[in-house]
């Protein structure tokens, strides 16, 4: 009977384990299919194998230690066992016997828990095994930085694990010995049975030895990453006082271990253990805290600059190196050049690319004019640049993605088989405005139509920022492609993305993974079908490359072949760089070493190495051979669109406000500290003036795509400098700071905004619009460098009360102490610098309509009336057919023609 019961218990245990592990096994197997299809199987296999080996090794060690200590503590007979009963009539229960019976299962459970938890350290172990040197030594101990980035984290965990085991052993065995009465506490002495004394003495000695290792291998090197002093890293007090005391502490810990073992030999364990703990506490606790505090207060604080100068030098140098600020180029501006009309004309490429459309208002407009169906959505607007019809143009674009949550009928067929992808994008130049104040659209409608040299040949978006549900492609159910009048156009997936469903086993596992019987039972899925999951590009990239940190702004690119690709910026990072200043999340080293390209149709992932000098990315290349590709292998049409990542630039500029001061005495006093200008619009932690711009930098021959931000002196409003990151060609990644003379006054953004608000004409007009029931939206203030000076531009949008479409109606332009507001940027510049006729002759007006009128002249009013009537009739036809996109286009044409009629009739501007 006992054997049968044991077998039943074993079978039940196996079934329970299988039941609880089945979902995990399903996910592991289907993830393996996914990694294999993507070509990243080395990441999956190496990470899984490392986790397995690490978990098994740690689990075996924990089991052996746990089981051995329990068995040792429970050996032999117990003369006076501890017993109790649950009720007066119940049999008495021997607690020591119960503990003896649970030794095996308790040891196994502990081994499984600890082993499983330690698998999270797989990446740190691989980084240690494949570590690459930095080639830079720390200024105190002379170790390569790689020791702190790759080795020290593993040592910390390993020593912490040893301490955990020893402390766990003490917490397990002491209560057992108390229950067995092997430890008896009398009034003035503690009596310990001999075998228990030896066992506990060894554990206490091991604790002191592990503590010594922790102090010597972890606490002393970690002082270089300390944040407790006046700077990040080891301060004067740390180096002069704490380091010697810590060396004394680990020596005392070793002596304490020997003293405890001596107590075991002389049968005085309790006394010797108490003395050892007190001695170590005095050296490590009291002396390690009180003495450094006294030295800091009475010696360092009165002479802080003199004492901390060497450490400040280390701090400045390490921070500039770790954040890539040591290679910033400095360009001094004269600050005396006055802009002329000729300067404006010579920088026409900059003027033609001034970004009049803010992302927020433009996104609202795109959603109202171009979503077309409720199940389409524009998630964000991105900046980029293209050569369009022979001109270098900055554009704003937004992919039109599918939002399955907005489908009118949600079921398995619609969500998983029919509505599988988004469709194309909308693309607009940054500076062109139609007569109605709406953006001019270069790429629009469904299917996407281009009015310029850009071509979208494969517009389907299966992988995007919104796509996060699994979908089946190439099934017996046609896929919805785009609306076509009263009907719909359908397509069949012809790509190689996703996992092929070539067997019943795969289909069963996918059904289990997605918890859907429909996957298993539907007849629409065939052997030629493919399942697409991890379709959100951020999630997809993070799954394929889990060791990288990701920029928050992926963006879409149109290739020369008309394909849509996503580009994501990836970072290597660490919080272990000695003396380097960390940001809020603890990171104090970062490189944009990888650019990841994801095909919006196939989901193909390619990782290109940008910074071959980065030791961390070299480590990853060694860990996972074959998944990284040199940047030289990136197609030229994609490489033309890589850009300096915004998140990294924002951190660098924030740090540079302080760390441009490289002299310790100036740094200490913050004499020349800068700040990011403050916006009155409340942009949170985001830099309100950080912008992508196409412009010609001072001293350069041609326009280029840059990202820039201005600086003002701390607690001042005038400009001190501006910083750019260059994006084009061989100059990619170059950081340049343009400094104004400290003795000159250059108006900053806050001062310009005050001048705009104080202008009576501008204030009167804005107040008038607000009173008429329209909502006035002030765009971001743009800081535009021209030659060695600056102009400021702000767009003014109007949105009807209750309306959702902002219209760009005015542009405010400021230069030095002059502010004007006009309908277009051209007119504003003409008023500021004169020569309106020459300026308008050189470049097209920003207000020209986005259509070609049938009449070549505006003199014939009858012809204009005929055209307006014709377009109105076409709009009514489109309305009846439910083609709202066409309806909107025709009504826009009617509005433009009526505007021309009004102008011919001598009407005012109406605004």
Give the Å distances, CA to CA, from 247 to 151, 223, 506. 20, 13, 60
Min mean pLDDT across 505-514, 659-668, 835-844, 873-882 is at 835-844
First vs last C-alpha separation in the chain: 97
Query: What average pLDDT score do residues 135-148 get?
Result: 96
- Per-residue burial over 265-284, b = 16 or more CB atoms within 10 Å of its CB, e = otherwise: eeeebbebbeebeeebeebb
Question: Is 497 in a helix, a strand, or coil?
Answer: coil
| Per-residue pLDDT at 852 | 33
Most confident of 195-204, 331-340, 430-439, 543-552: 543-552
Q: What is the pLDDT of residue 662?
A: 92
* Structure confidence by residue, pLDDT tens digits, 607-651: 999 999 999 999 999 999 999 999 999 999 999 999 999 999 999
Mean pLDDT, residues 796-819 taken together: 88
The pLDDT score that the predictor gives to residue 513 is: 93
Residue 626, CA distances (Å) to 45, 50, 53, 591, 592 in order: 14, 18, 23, 21, 20
For position 436, what pLDDT does the model report?
83
Q: Whose CA is closest to 352, among 898, 19, 846, 739?
A: 846
Q: What is the mean pLDDT of residues 503-521?
A: 93
CA-to-CA distance for 813 and 832, rounded, in angstroms?
8
Q: Dihedral sign, CA of 532, 536, 539, 544? A: positive
Give the pLDDT of residue 688: 80
pLDDT for residue 800: 81
Looking at residue 231, what is its pLDDT?
Answer: 86
* Residue 775, pLDDT score: 85
pLDDT tier, 742 (very low <50, low <70, confident <90, very high otherwise): confident
**pLDDT (0 to 100) of residue 313:** 96
> How many other C-beta atoms are found inside a 10 Å radius of the C-beta of residue 515?
9
Higher pLDDT, 574 or 18: 574
Q: Which residues contact 469 (CB under 8 A, 6 or more apart)?
A: 404, 415, 416, 535
- pLDDT of 219: 94
Residues 6+ apart with CB under 8 A from 814: 747, 752, 755, 756, 791, 792, 793, 820
**Phi-psi region for residue 454, left (φ > 0), alpha (ψ -120 to 50) or beta?**
beta
For residue 437, name the pLDDT band (cuts at 50, 70, 90).
confident
Question: Which tens digit of pLDDT belongs to each residue from 67-93?
Answer: 999 888 887 666 666 666 566 665 566
Q: Quickly state the pLDDT bin for 655 (edges 50, 70, 90).
A: very high
User: In sequence order, what are the beta bridge partners of 786?
Assistant: 789
Check whether 680 has a pLDDT greater than 80: no
Residues 552-556: what's their mean pLDDT? 95
Residue 507 C-beta-side C-alpha neighbours within 13 Å: 18
Q: What is the pLDDT of residue 910?
A: 37
Query: Residue 133 pLDDT more than 80?
Result: yes
What is the Cα–Cα distance from 878 to 884, expressed in whole angstroms? 7
Give the C-alpha separation, 533 to 520, whole Å: 17
- Rounded to the nearest integer, the mean pLDDT of the chain is 87
Indicate the burial class of 824 (C-beta count within 10 angstroms; 0-12, 13-18, 19 or more).
buried
Please, what's the largest Cα pairwise distance for the chain? 119
Question: Taking 70 as the threshold, does the pLDDT of residue 878 lie above it?
Answer: no
> Sorting pLDDT into bands at 50, 70 and 90, what band is 102?
confident
The answer on pLDDT for 186 being more than 90 is no
Rounded average pLDDT over 111-119: 92
388 bridge partner residues: 391
Q: Are 542 and 533 in contact (CB under 8 A)?
A: no
Measured distance CA(182)–CA(166) in Å, rounded = 20
Lowest mean pLDDT among 22-31, 417-426, 526-535, 834-843: 834-843
Query: Is 0.85 topped by the overall pTM?
Result: yes
User: Between 506 and 886, whose confidence is greater?
Assistant: 506
Confidence of residue 416 (pLDDT cuts 50, 70, 90): very high
């Amino acid at each position: 009977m006992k054997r049968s019961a044991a077998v039943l218990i074993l079978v039940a245990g196996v079934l329970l384990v299988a039941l609880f592990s089945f979902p995990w096994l399903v996910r592991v197997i289907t993830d393996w299919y996914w990694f294999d299809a993507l070509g990243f199987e080395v990441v999956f296999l190496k990470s899984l194998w490392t986790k397995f080996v690490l978990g098994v090794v740690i689990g075996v060690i924990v089991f052996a230690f746990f089981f051995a200590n329990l068995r040792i503590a429970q050996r032999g007979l117990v003369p006076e066992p501890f017993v109790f009963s649950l009720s007066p009539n119940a049999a008495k229960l021997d607690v020591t016997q119960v503990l003896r019976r649970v030794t095996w299962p308790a040891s196994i459970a502990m081994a499984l828990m600890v082993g499983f938890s330690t698998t999270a350290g797989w990446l740190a172990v691989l980084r240690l095994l494949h570590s690459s040197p930095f080639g830079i030594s720390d200024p105190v101990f002379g170790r390569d930085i790689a020791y702190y980035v790759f080795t020290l984290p593993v040592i910390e965990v390993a020593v912490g694990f040893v301490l955990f085991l020893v402390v766990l052993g003490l917490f397990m065995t002491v209560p057992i010995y108390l229950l067995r009465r092997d430890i008896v506490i009398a009034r003035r002495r503690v009596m310990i049975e001999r075998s228990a004394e030896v066992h506990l003495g060894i554990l206490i000695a091991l604790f002191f030895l592990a503590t010594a290792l922790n102090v010597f291998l972890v606490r002393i090197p970690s002082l270089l990453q300390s944040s407790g002093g006046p700077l990040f890293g080891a301060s004067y007090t740390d180096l002069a006082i704490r380091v010697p005391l810590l060396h004394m502490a680990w020596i005392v810990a070793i002596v304490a271990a020997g003293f405890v073992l001596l107590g075991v030999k002389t049968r005085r364990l309790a006394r010797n253990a108490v003395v050892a703990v007190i001695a170590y506490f005095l050296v490590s606790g009291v002396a390690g805290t009180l003495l450094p505090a006294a030295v800091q207060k009475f010696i360092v604080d009165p002479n802080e600059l003199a004492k901390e100068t060497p450490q400040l030098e280390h701090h400045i140098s390490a921070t500039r190196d770790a954040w890539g600020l040591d290679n910033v180029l400095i360009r001094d501006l004269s600050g005396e050049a006055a802009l002329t009309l000729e300067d404006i004309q010579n920088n026409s490429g900059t003027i033609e690319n001034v970004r009049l459309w803010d992302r927020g208002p433009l996104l609202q407009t795109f959603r109202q004019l171009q979503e077309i169906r409720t199940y389409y959505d524009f998630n964000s607007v991105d900046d980029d640049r293209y050569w369009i019809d022979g001109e270098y143009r900055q554009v704003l674009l937004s992919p039109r993605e599918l939002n399955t949550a907005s489908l009118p009928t949600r079921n398995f067929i619609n969500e998983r088989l029919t509505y599988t992808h988004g469709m194309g994008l909308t693309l607009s130049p940054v500076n062109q405005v139609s007569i109605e104040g709406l953006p001019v659209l270069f790429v629009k409608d469904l299917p996407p139509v281009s009015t310029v040299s850009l071509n979208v040949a494969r517009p389907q978006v299966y992988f995007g920022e919104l796509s996060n549900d699994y979908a089946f492609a190439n099934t017996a159910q046609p896929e919805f492609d785009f609306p076509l009048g009263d009907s719909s156009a359908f397509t069949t997936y012809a790509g190689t993305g996703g996992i092929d469903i070539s067997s019943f086993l795969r289909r069963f596992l996918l059904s289990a993974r997605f918890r859907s019987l429909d996957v298993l039972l539907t007849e629409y899925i065939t052997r030629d079908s493919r399942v697409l999951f991890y379709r959100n590009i951020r999630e997809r990239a993070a799954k394929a490359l889990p060791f990288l940190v990701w920029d928050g702004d992926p963006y879409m690119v149109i290739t020369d072949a008309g394909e849509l690709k996503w580009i994501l910026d990836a970072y290597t990072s660490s919080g272990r760089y000695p003396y380097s200043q960390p940001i809020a999340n603890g990171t104090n080293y970062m490189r944009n070493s990888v650019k990841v390209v994801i095909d919006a149709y196939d989901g193909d992932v390619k990782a290109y190495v940008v910074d071959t000098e980065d030791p961390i990315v070299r480590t990853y290349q060694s860990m996972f051979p074959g998944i990284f590709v040199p940047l030289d292998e990136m197609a030229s049409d994609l490489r033309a669109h890589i850009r300096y990542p915004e998140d990294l630039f924002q951190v660098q500029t924030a740090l540079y406000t302080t760390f441009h001061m490289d002299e310790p005495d100036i740094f200490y006093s913050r004499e020349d500290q800068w700040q990011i200008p403050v916006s009155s619009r409340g942009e949170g932690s985001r830099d309100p003036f950080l912008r992508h711009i196409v412009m010609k930098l001072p001293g350069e021959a041609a326009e280029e795509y840059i990202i820039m931000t201005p600086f003002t002196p701390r607690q001042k409003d005038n400009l001190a400098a501006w910083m750019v990151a260059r994006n084009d060609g061989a100059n990619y990644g170059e950081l340049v700071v343009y400094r104004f003379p400290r003795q000159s006054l250059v108006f900053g953004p806050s001062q310009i905004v005050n001048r705009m608000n104080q202008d009576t004409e501008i204030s009167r007009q804005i107040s008038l619009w607000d009173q008429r029931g329209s909502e006035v939206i002030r765009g971001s203030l743009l800081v535009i460098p021209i030659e060695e000076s600056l102009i400021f531009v702000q767009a003014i949008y109007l949105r009807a009360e209750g309306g959702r479409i902002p219209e760009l109606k005015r542009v405010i332009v400021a230069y030095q102490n002059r502010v004007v507001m006009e309908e277009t940027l051209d007119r504003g510049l003409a008023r500021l610098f004169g020569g309106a006729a020459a300026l308008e002759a050189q470049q097209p007006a920003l207000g020209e309509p986005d259509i070609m009128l049938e009449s070549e002249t505006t003199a014939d009013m009858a012809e204009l009336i005929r055209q307006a009537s014709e377009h109105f009739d076409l709009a009514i036809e489109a309305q009846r057919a439910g083609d709202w996109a066409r309806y909107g286009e025709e009504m826009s044409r009617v509005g433009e023609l009526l505007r021309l009629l009004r102008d011919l009739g001598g009407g005012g501007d109406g605004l």
